Amino acid sequence: MGLWSYLFGPRGPKPVDQFDDPIFGPLAWTEDEEGWIGEYGGYRFVIGYSGASLPAPELLNYVRDFLGEGGAKFTCVLAEAKLPHAAKFQRLWAKEFAGLTVGTVTV
């Protein structure tokens, strides 16, 4: 189950390979991230292993709230964060600024 388990021993039950969430759809276990990976609203996210064979309901709820319906809340937060810097960055690094993307949201 990854580096953590190798170094410190088993942490709990083996995670299920796939979990079907009613909002996010299928989430697949990945050893590399030690969590379940999914995509919602165009954003990739990982729900970390928390000692159970399924993703923790609290973490699923957190990601739902964080991203908002269809990822809309997070899209607005990102736009608001970029806004104060837009003039400076557009002038100096327009291409780079326009190409900023979110990699993976990890919870």
Q: How far apart are CA 16 and CA 24, in angstroms?
A: 16
**If you average pLDDT over residues 87-99, what whole number do you get?**
75
pLDDT at residue 53 is higher than 60: yes
pLDDT of residue 103: 87
Query: pLDDT (tens digit, 9 = 90+) per residue, 4-19?
Result: 665 666 568 999 999 9
**If you average pLDDT over residues 21-31, what whole number do you get?**
97
Dihedral in degrees, nearest 10, Cα atoms 47, 63, 78, 32: 0
Q: What is the value of pTM for the model shown? A: 0.79
